Chain A
Amino acid sequence: MNILIKNGWVLDPANQVDEKLDLLVSDGKIAKLGKPGSISANDAQVIDAAQRLVVPGLIDMHVHLREPGFEYKETIATGTAAAKAGGFTSVCCMPNTSPVNDNRSITEFILSQARNAPARVYPIGSITRGSLGEELAEMGELRAAGCFALSDDGKPVMNASIMRRALEYSKIFDLLIIAHCEDVSLAAKGVMNEGAVSTELGLRGISRAAEDVMTGRDLLLAELTGGRLHIAHVSTIGSVRMIREAKLRGVKVTAETCPHYFTLTDEAVRGYNTMAKMNPPLRTAADVAAIKQGLRDGTIDVIVTDHAPHGMDEKAGEFDYAPFGIVGLETSLGLTLKLVDEGVLSLSEAISKLSANPAAALKIDKGTLDIGADADITIIDPEVQWTVDSSQFKSKSRNTPFNGWQLKGKAVQTIVGGRF
């Protein structure tokens, strides 16, 4: 089927395209880009993208789809529906399912469940067996089954020697090792950022040092081994500073952050709001400023959501007992566009962090509007004002701190492989 997207503003940062163009999709591939009106429509379905941005399909490389094992929170079907609603054509799902995705059969199960899903799913395998941090998972098998990256996310690999070997061994397969940087002995039983707010609320705090200590460690191990490291959910001044410095030294590292780390602080926890409970926790205004600076100067390459669905019963009740995490697929783009409004990022930089950069980190053939590439396209209305209504989420879960927020900018069409 042919699709002609006309009158839209095409923004493809990887190819430095930033102008009003018409785009033709043919047989699920990007076929042609041309000046408005220059492409003949023939039997193509025509989409009028006037006043819209036409960008490479957005990619969220840190999402929890919860299947297998936690289907009451989310399934691959509902999670990818949420992704599509948020403008994402591809997501990478973390392996902390039950069972953990540390072998081919789980990877293949996920891929088979995703076969007809509204967004593409790239499973991330675990670094260690069962994510127990003791023995390496069979990386070759995971790679062959379809994983481009590995992570024990949800947990760190506490044993430095195992993390070192993981980074070394990953080089055989050119796998990306995604590090959840948290020293569990420092984090202990903390439930929010350690600081004046946690002191006043009487909640156990997680010091920034718990993240920084491991960011520092993993950067040094990446430097030692030459493995490809990606730092997950960066939240602190210290992590940003160390990643910046490591990049200057030539360490092969990329980094991601989430909209909540550049939008909210630990003040959001006041009132014991479990919708503001996640790990790493919301930090202080100074950390938010450092995250924004890190995005601006390229220290942080990617914006992800760490979409972490949980049942409302689980998030109700005592703050201490609520699980960590919030959903994010359906609010990410709107919150990221706020950074453009604030002048922190240009529109092109913002879109890069959601498309070309994650694709480059994963080394997958996505995130561009190259001629001949898969027609994964997101059409954005950058001006529409809308109110976040969690009761309307396509996700099974509603655990967001942004319910009721006024945002500007939303995906209006998400096209995967030339299909709506």
Chain B
Amino acid sequence: MSIASKNLLGMKGMTADEITLILDTAATFKDVSERDIKKVPALRGKTVINLFYEASTRTRTSFELAGKRLSADVINISTSTSSVVKGETLLDTARNIEAMKCDMIIVRHSCSGAPEYLAQRLKSSVINAGDGFHEHPTQALLDMFTIREKLGKLKGLTITIVGDIAHSRVARSNIHGLITMGAHVRVCGPPTMIPPGIEDLGANVYYDMDKAVEGTDVVMMLRLQLERQTAGLFPGVREYAGLYGLNQSRVERAAKHVIVMHPGPMNRGVEISSDVADNRSVILDQVTNGVAIRMAVMFLLSGGAKNSAE
């Protein structure tokens, strides 16, 4: 069994079988990162490019490590140092890279649809590392991996995602993936941050966080971008933290086994209090699992079969 496409552009349209395959494959690769010699030859001789149009340390590092642990040759291109500054179009940049015979291009871009645009025009595999507000599939996959690891399953669980849903690719990818795996998703935030038609994607909407976390199995907090205040989306950090911040008392409203997640980086004291972040959350497990998931995705897209992962 393998992934249908040469690309990973989003969670929408991915089947439950494909998701399960990726999670199972990641479980095998997680062990590699525990070893003294953190390397397997699966992608030896392959060339992987990280094409990041948006600043990112953790995601890029995570992909870089994933590629290197698979023995691939990994090159990082970030736009501030590249020909993009000279006005080169997205397509020209990607074609030039492909002309150097790259096997896989990992793209992060501030415009939704950019990875899809490239995937249609390049022979290389394209992995979406986050496009605009649209999707961030490897984040959703590592989130689902973490939930499955901690709670043993995904089907039938309730996951509450809190924050700026409207501008969140993490939220969208998680909604698609979790619903496909049979989980229930609640989204919570101020009405200004809940996009129209989000219910059509399968999520239930809450404006009241106390109700949204009632009995939930997983709370996933999203980072508040402070610039949204000037757009009138919320009146100030103090009020936002009071209404939508995850503190100990809200954690206690959730299920006893609740796990607390955050894609990072956190605004301590805004969307999540320090004591919850440091004592109750699985944020660091998410980071660890991120490398394993990205190894799995890169392995599977380059045609690797599950059995040869070791």
Contact = CB atoms under 8 A, between A and B. Distances in A.
Interface of A: 188, 194-205, 271-272, 313, 316-321
Given A195-B197, A203-B112, A272-B117, A320 B89 contact: no
B131 interface: yes
Contacts of B166: 199
A203 B132 contact: yes
Q: Which of A204, A272, A317, A318 is the most central at the interface, judged by chain B CB atoms within 10 Å of its CB?
A: A318
A313 B89 CA distance: 9
B16 interface: no
A203 B133 contact: yes
Interface of B: 12, 89-91, 109-114, 116-117, 131-135, 166, 169, 172, 195-198, 200-201, 231
Contact of B195 (A188, A199, A272, A317): A199
Given A199-B197, A272-B113, A317-B90, 13 more contacts: A195-B197, A196-B196, A198-B195, A199-B196, A199-B198, A199-B200, A199-B201, A200-B197, A200-B200, A202-B169, A205-B195, A272-B112, A317-B91
Contact of B116 (A195, A272, A321): A272
A318 B200 contact: no
23 contacts: A195-B197, A197-B197, A198-B195, A198-B196, A199-B166, A199-B195, A199-B198, A200-B197, A201-B112, A202-B131, A202-B132, A202-B135, A202-B169, A203-B133, A204-B133, A205-B195, A272-B112, A272-B117, A313-B89, A317-B89, A317-B90, A319-B113, A321-B111
B132 A200 contact: no
A271 B131 CA distance: 14
B196 A195 contact: yes
A320 B197 contact: no
Given A200-B12, A313-B89, A318 B113 contact: yes
Nearest to B92: A317
B117 A317 contact: yes
A202 B111 CA distance: 9
Given A200-B201, A203-B132, A320 B196 contact: no
Contacts of B132: 202-203, 320
Contact of A319 (B112, B197, B198): B112
A204 B231 CA distance: 13
B114 A318 contact: yes
Contacts of B195: 198-199, 205
A90 to B, nearest CB: 38
A259 to B, nearest CB: 25
A320 B112 contact: yes
A318 B12 CA distance: 20
Contacts of B112: 201-203, 272, 319-320
A203 B91 CA distance: 20
Contacts of A272: 112-113, 116-117
B20 to A, nearest CB: 24
Contacts of B131: 202
A321 B114 CA distance: 11
A324 to B, nearest CB: 15
A202 B117 contact: no
Contacts of A321: 111
Contacts of B111: 318-321
Contact of B113 (A194, A199, A201, A316): A201
B271 to A, nearest CB: 20
Q: Which of A197, A199, A201 is the most central at the interface, judged by chain B CB atoms within 10 Å of its CB?
A: A199
A199 B167 CA distance: 9
Contacts of B135: 202
A320 to B, nearest CB: 4
B133 A202 contact: yes
Contacts of B200: 196, 199-200
A202 B172 CA distance: 8
